[in-house]
């Protein structure tokens, strides 16, 4: 297996650090628009080769694949680049993995009731082409989406005879402090992506209604997260799980709620009010810039906040319905990561590390043949047990809690 890793930000660099401890691949071409950043990530393993790439160009991605005989393209950049990398991989005859999906566009007349272009629509539109070519595009294989989707498959196969709701619930008790020990606002993940998913209309799926939308931050609920994190208020957020799970797992409802916190929600609302969430370029003193790019640029890089971060992050799936024994059941399947542990053992903060470990596991399963397929597929399309077993073997076990 020869892998092209596109992007060496927080998640991409963590991916390189995790993969360096495994032996299922021959080489990884570590590529970024910033060659120096790629070289830094590539220096962690002798099997790595650094390269420069323009992720917005499918031709550039395809050319790099051909140059190095790439078999699998791993997309680790913001989802605005999904389609160019996706198309470049297909053009070069390589398989493809990403941790999100192609971007959505709100319904022009009824954005908080009806879906417009949904997450992943552009990729699923060409699924037949990938299947006919015998190529695999494994989409949504980060942590969320990704691990929660694996949990959905596991719940359907091993825990439930009938599922009422697949409810992804994510929360954390992470804090970041400045040099004087004062708590500061510093996103632990790409601010560009966070703005995109939090300010877009959240999507919900119901069996008798299909996909529909609600206003941002709707249906708040307090969810009690395990392993000392505790109660966190969670709200509806647009996310890929809701667009993936119902395609392969029989359920009556699918939702995604994220524990943002009042401060973060207020900041996002202010950004929206001021138009600073926009991706449309504006002219400022003769220079054209995207307001959202400016916001992301002035905030701390998520890859650098690890040494000043404390706490744990939890990703998981709350499943309700009827158990295999015919009795009502409510189960939370989850994965908790402690920032102190990932910083000590890998040098990467817990949120990006938790995202990065899952595609490494998936690639190893593809390399061994434990997972195989063709077309545009989500993690739900594969057997969950080999994935969860290998995740535990990596030293990061998952948990299960009855509610």
How many domains are contained in the chain? 2
Is residue 121 in some structural domain? Answer: no
Q: Do residue 90 and residue 156 come from a single domain?
A: no
Per the structure, the complete domain to which residue 217 belongs is given by 147-351+398-402
Q: Is residue 184 part of a domain?
A: yes
Domain identity same for 183 and 270: yes
Asked if residue 81 and residue 11 are part of one domain, the reply reads: yes
Q: Does some domain include residue 196?
A: yes
Q: Are residues 211 and 347 in the same domain?
A: yes
Q: Are residues 71 and 183 in the same domain?
A: no
Q: Is 209 inside any structural domain?
A: yes
Which value, to the nearest 10 degrees, does the dihedral of the CA atoms of residues 295, 102, 225, 349 take? -50
Residues of the chain with pLDDT under 50: none
- Write out 75-129 in H/E/C secondary structure: ECCCHHHHHHHHHHHHHHCCEEEECCCCCCECCCCCCCCCCCECCCHHHHCCHHH
Note whether 94 and 206 are same-domain residues. Answer: no
Nearest C-alpha neighbor of 301 from the set 29, 4, 20, 37? 37
Last residue of a domain, one of 83, 98, 113: 98
Do 60 and 185 belong together in one domain? no
Same domain, 228 and 345: yes
Domain presence at residue 180: yes
Contact 223, 169 (CB under 8 A): yes
66 and 206 fall within a common domain: no
Answer yes or no: is 125 within a domain: no
60: domain CATH number is 3.40.50.720
Backbone angles phi, psi at 219, to 5 degrees: 50, 55
CATH of the domain at 271: 3.30.360.10
Residue 249: both structure tokens together: 């797992």
What is the pTM for the complete model shown?
A: 0.92
Is there a domain that residue 237 lies in? Answer: yes
* In contact, 96 and 114? CB cutoff 8 Å: no
Question: What pLDDT, in 10s, does the model give residues 276-302?
Answer: 888 889 898 888 988 888 888 887 777
Q: What is the DSSP string of 180-203?
A: TS-B----SS-HHHHHHHHHSPPE
Residues 160/319, Cβ–Cβ less than 8 Å: yes
User: Of 98, 124, 157, which residue constitutes the final position of a domain?
Assistant: 98
Pair of tokens at residue 201: 């209309």
Domain end (from 98, 126, 157): 98
Domain for residue 296, yes or no? yes
């Amino acid at each position: 297996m020869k892998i092209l890793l596109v992007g060496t930000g927080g998640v991409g660099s963590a991916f390189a650090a995790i993969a360096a401890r495994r032996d299922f691949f021959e080489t990884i071409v570590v590529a970024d628009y910033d060659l120096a950043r790629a070289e830094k990530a590539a220096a962690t393993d002798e099997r790595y080769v650094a390269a420069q790439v323009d992720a917005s160009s499918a031709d550039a991605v395809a050319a790099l694949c051909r140059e190095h005989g790439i078999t699998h393209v791993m997309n680790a950049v913001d989802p605005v680049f999904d389609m160019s990398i996706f198309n470049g991989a297909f053009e070069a005859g390589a398989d493809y993995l990403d941790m999100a999906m192609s971007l959505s566009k709100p319904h022009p007349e009824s954005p908080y009731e009806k879906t417009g272009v949904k997450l992943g629509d552009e990729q699923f539109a060409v699924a037949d082409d990938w299947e006919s070519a015998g190529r695999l595009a494994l989409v949504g294989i980060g942590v969320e989406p990704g691990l929660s989707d694996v949990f959905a498959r596991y719940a359907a196969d091993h825990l439930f005879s009938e599922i009422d709701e697949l409810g992804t619930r994510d929360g954390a008790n992470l804090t970041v402090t400045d040099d004087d020990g004062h708590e500061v606002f510093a996103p632990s993940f790409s601010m560009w992506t966070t703005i995109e998913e939090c300010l877009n209309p959240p999507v919900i799926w119901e069996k008798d209604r299909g996909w529909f939308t609600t206003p941002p931050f709707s249906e708040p609920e307090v969810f009690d997260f395990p392993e000392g994190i505790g109660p966190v208020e969670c709200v509806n957020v647009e996310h890929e799980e809701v667009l993936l799970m119902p395609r392969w797992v029989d359920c009556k409802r699918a939702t995604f709620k994220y524990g943002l916190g009042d401060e973060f929600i207020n900041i996002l609302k202010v950004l929206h009010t001021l138009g600073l969430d926009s991706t449309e370029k504006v002219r400022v003193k003769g220079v054209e810039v995207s307001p959202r790019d400016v916001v992301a640029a002035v905030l701390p890089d998520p890859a650098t906040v690890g040494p000043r971060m404390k706490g744990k992050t939890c990703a998981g799936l709350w499943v309700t319905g009827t158990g295999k024994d015919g009795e009502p059941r409510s189960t939370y399947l989850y994965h908790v990561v402690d920032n102190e542990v990932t910083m000590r053992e890998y040098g990467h903060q817990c949120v990006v590390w938790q995202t990065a470990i899952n595609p490494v596991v998936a690639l190893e399963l593809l390399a061994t043949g434990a997972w195989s397929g063709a077309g545009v597929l989500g993690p739900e399309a594969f057997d969950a047990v080999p994935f969860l077993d290998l995740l535990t073997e990596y030293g990061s076990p998952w948990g299960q809690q009855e509610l």
